[in-house]
Amino acid sequence: MSNNDVASVHQLRSAYEGEKAGKFDLNAMIATPLELHRCAVKPEWVDYNQHMSESCYLLVFGDNSDAFFRYFGIDDDYRLGGHSIYTVETHIRNLREVALGEPVRLTLRLLDFDHKRLHIFHEMWHAASNTLLATGEQLLMHVDMQAGR
């Protein structure tokens, strides 16, 4: 691939990329589950069956994770500081179909954490009918990008 080809490659971006994290208040009451992300099914997410493609469920769960990161203080400055959060494991259950333009809302629960890992659980709901569409469970890990671990 030439340098011109590399420059023209479309990079996947999070819905929250470039957004600053708010100041996290350790004493604040936290809703359970958290509801931080809403969206509508985009044309580029729809497959040949006219429903959201299976890979796009993970894309939307990823945006929900990014909203969660911003909630407790992780943003682009964290990455610029040489750190990142990597996904180690994901389990998705696709329960119902959702079509182009339909609204979805996501909830998130922090199941467990330690100084390296976060274990989170997502639920994707149809925002109008309140039907559970999918769930996603993820194990995420803090990575020091300079140390490579």
Confidence of residue 3 (pLDDT cuts 50, 70, 90): low
Q: Which of 130, 61, 65, 103 is nearest to 74 (CA)?
A: 65
pLDDT, tens digit, for every residue of 52-97?
999 999 999 999 999 999 998 888 888 889 999 999 999 999 999 9
Average pLDDT of the chain, as a whole number: 90
Written as one string, the DSSP assignment of 22-46 is PPP-TTS---SSEEEEEEE--GGGB
Q: What is the pLDDT of residue 120?
A: 98
Domains and CATH numbers, the chain: 30-144 (3.10.129.10)
